[in-house]
Structure 1
């Protein structure tokens, strides 16, 4: 009865003026008194958690269960397992993940709970602690081999979030030859995600290099999704390319891995230097070597101007001119998957002959390149101003949609993207395939930032 009375009082005070210090003090006193009842209060709070119109409200019940801490842990685990609806699962998980326990070891009994929702919730609880979970991360190891994929994935996310403090644990797991294969594979992915290739020990690095050699031998080029800057140089001399970009420590990789590294570094690489630590240098593709990424000095200078491709327009032109002195011709292309930005720059014999950026067409230089013809440039309207004066907006929209269909069916050229211009002038990364002639080996090489900070963390497809 006392617990029920406290629940009613907290609910009543919750509906009063929240700015009145007397109400606030009374409500907090009632909360503290209820929490002091510990496990005895848990059944009634769980009932409140399930109700939509109880005196407390489910969120208040959840926060009180969190404050009770360990006595509420296994009852909440059972509530998750028995939840009759997705909303009931979310409510119970909310309370479970945020329990105020002094140490994550309290969650150990729930690791072996028969219901996968509970085991997955344990992983969420560890993930919520971030690097604070490192000391107890060994308790997640059984979940890496869980029969349910969502549980395995949750445990991996939690270990990744725990940071570098879990690296010794994961290296030890990799060396346990008698352990579950799933755990060892997951440990390898987390090691790469947290610490990058340098986090692997010598045996794992040797195994990875063997796998790359095997897969690179018969690899068929795959289309890439351009998002970021890349250069195209008419050469197969990779040593000269590495020297021209100030790269070192080249590591042979598959083209798939190189492309994955470019995407990862562009979008999700952690840390200040994640986007500028390494560059993917392709093998020779139809007579051209493609270089994906931005050398670190240029990337840091361009960051101050928020240049879309990681290089300022002036930096692009200087680079292309400098590279063309060495290779005769140098192309630079830029695209971004988040908007319509597209740009390109061509240089020959130390001189920029054409530069275009859809976001700054007034600064374009040089005559239109044959690869841009015959359609309009991306910033240009296909129809002159006033073409749709006096026509209803719906009719104009329908006409433009129909025109786009006709143009596609007849193969009529439209405004080109950087990838399409590249396909006509050099090599289109989005059109790589079995028809592409390959010479040499794909490489990942370190920039100046990479030499100082190493490869960014991240697991990549081989």
Structure 2
């Protein structure tokens, strides 16, 4: 008989190691008790030390966890048992593969997670994993999709065959995996043409949709001359997109790529149609305050303003990461201000405060004209706190903010995604996006 107190000792740091050794030595006799502890939502013992003991026990532990996972009656207990079940390692590879056909969807999903934890050894199970792209349970199908993406480019030929030959239920998610792993170059001409046709079908009814990226960078020009603006900026290869697609690309690019990836998020931008008299150029390439782009964006806004009267650039961190703005008129930068919490923000300041800044200071009870060197610490802190979230509202005071546009915003023309000079040199990152 396994002592319950011995299992509970797994939750006591200075007793954990001795308890784990004793329980592992008991072998299969302790599996049922350990799984019961996992299914107990009130248990004070975390699932991790229990899973560690079960991994040491081996095959009998897998069978016990499988039974516990299939019979767990609450979401909490399913999670605890499922985490332990999926962490048994490469030694359980064959058993995870067999469990992919289990009648209970949650078991199939956790078996996929188990394969993901098997590392390169999981490649031998790909032929069993691929059919789950068409699983009737959408969570299982999504787990299979994500697992295949993590396997990398070597699965591309297999998924290309599915796109060409079926089965039909697997084809949609196979397309998503291909796009995520290889981008357009991994898709057939037929698939690319179908995607472009779908975009064309959606465009006549497409309406403005607010930007919702974590890190929002944009330029704004008071003109509907989309082609001329892109020419001035050196943007090429414009391709029509819906607002949803453009925003999704901007958000994905803003999150960056891996350390070994040549892409830096500056390869492309989303150029809106004319929105209430303004054209917006969205993407990290439009960043007015980052070390890599600030001076180039200042130059570009100066050139745009010489041609169109004004040109602005903004940054707004949607997760509380600060604001920045740059305003150019008639070929001259009249204001640049940055408040992101970085130590050298003040070095970017140019020009005199804008009327909007002065008005906001009055609303806050501060003097409209100020000298940071003479200001009290409390006043300085209050102003910095206010400007931290100011960019989108300041942009709206001039005309259009991409965070505030919506279906009722007057719109004329078609959105495009265009390549920047970075994109011409390096291409664009792969990815699957919503249309």
TM-score > 0.5, shorter chain as reference: yes
Tell me the CA shift for residue 85 of structure 1.
Answer: 5.0
Matches within 5 A, 1:15-414: 41-51=27-37, 61-70=50-59, 72-84=61-73, 86=75, 88-102=77-91, 104-129=93-118, 133-180=122-169, 183-225=170-212, 227-267=215-255, 272=261, 273-295=263-285, 307=289, 311-312=293-294, 314-339=295-320, 341-359=322-340, 360=345, 364-370=349-355, 372=356, 375-377=359-361, 382-384=364-366
CA distance in 1, matches of 2:122, 2:271: 38
Helix, strand or coil at the partner of 1:241: helix
CA distance in 2, matches of 1:327, 1:129: 58
Helix, strand or coil at the partner of 2:90: coil
1:244–1:105 distance in 2 versus 1, CA, 3 Å = farther
Per-residue Cα deviation, 1:318-373 (whole angstroms, up to 9, x for no partner): 33223323444211122111116222211123211222334556864434445x27
Q: Indicate if the aligned counterparts of 1:270 and 1:457 stay in contact, CA closer than 8 A.
A: no
Q: Indicate if the aligned counterparts of 2:222 and 2:277 stay in contact, CA closer than 8 A.
A: yes
Q: TM-score, normalised by structure 2?
A: 0.77
Per-residue Cα deviation, 1:167-187 (whole angstroms, up to 9, x for no partner): 22222222234432xx22222
CA distance in 2, matches of 1:9, 1:223: 56
1:123–1:451 distance in 2 versus 1, CA, 3 Å = farther
CA distance in 1, matches of 2:236, 2:71: 57
CA distance in 2, matches of 1:197, 1:13: 51
Helix, strand or coil at the partner of 1:225: coil
User: Match for residue 378 of structure 2?
Assistant: none
Per-residue Cα deviation, 1:178-229 (whole angstroms, up to 9, x for no partner): 432xx22222222222333333221111100000011012211122236421
Moved more, 209-218 or 120-129: 120-129
Tell me the CA shift for residue 382 of structure 1.
Answer: 1.0
Q: TM-score, normalised by structure 1?
A: 0.73
- Which structure 2 residue ranges, 5 or more long, are not aligned? 368-386
Answer yes or no: is 1:419 the counterpart of 2:406: no
Per-residue Cα deviation, 1:12-45 (whole angstroms, up to 9, x for no partner): 9999989xxxx99xx97x78876xxxxxx43532
Per-residue Cα deviation, 1:57-85 (whole angstroms, up to 9, x for no partner): 97555324324445543442122112355
User: Match for residue 460 of structure 1?
Assistant: 433
CA distance in 2, matches of 1:132, 1:438: 53
Q: Indicate if the aligned counterparts of 1:269 and 1:457 stay in contact, CA closer than 8 A.
A: no
Per-residue Cα deviation, 1:87-139 (whole angstroms, up to 9, x for no partner): 54344323321224357344222111121221110121133345653443332
1:167–1:266 distance in 2 versus 1, CA, 3 Å = same
User: Match for residue 373 of structure 2?
Assistant: none
CA distance in 1, matches of 2:124, 2:427: 25
CA distance in 2, matches of 1:424, 1:49: 61
1:351–1:16 distance in 2 versus 1, CA, 3 Å = closer
Per-residue Cα deviation, 1:362-414 (whole angstroms, up to 9, x for no partner): 864434445x277315xx771359xxxxxxxxxxxxxxxxxxxxxxxxxxxx9
CA distance in 2, matches of 1:415, 1:17: 47
Helix, strand or coil at the partner of 1:376: helix
The root-mean-square deviation of aligned C-alpha atoms, in Å, is 4.0
Equivalent residues, number: 405
Helix, strand or coil at the partner of 2:333: strand
Q: Indicate if the aligned counterparts of 2:323 and 2:388 stay in contact, CA closer than 8 A.
A: no
Q: Indicate if the aligned counterparts of 1:278 and 1:444 stay in contact, CA closer than 8 A.
A: yes
